[in-house]
Amino acid sequence: MLLFARWVLRRIPDLTGDVYGALCEMVEVLILLTLAAGRGG
């Protein structure tokens, strides 16, 4: 799922450098929170 998210972000033009890095980190955090919530529930 994480690889899919990164693939999608790479397909979006006009995203470079810090913006791309920040989006990747946000996506990773969201996925981790989702996994943690799923296991906790």
Tens-digit pLDDT string for the chain (41 aa): 678 777 776 776 666 677 778 888 898 999 999 999 988 76
pTM: 0.50
3-state secondary structure string, 1-41? CHHHHHHHHHHCCCCCHHHHHHHHHHHHHHHHHHHHHHHHC
Does residue 6 fall inside a structural domain? Answer: no
Does residue 39 fall inside a structural domain? Answer: yes
Does residue 30 fall inside a structural domain? Answer: yes
Q: What is the pLDDT of residue 29?
A: 92
Does residue 4 fall inside a structural domain? Answer: no
Q: What is the pLDDT of residue 10?
A: 72
Number of domains, the chain: 1
Domain span including residue 39: 15-41
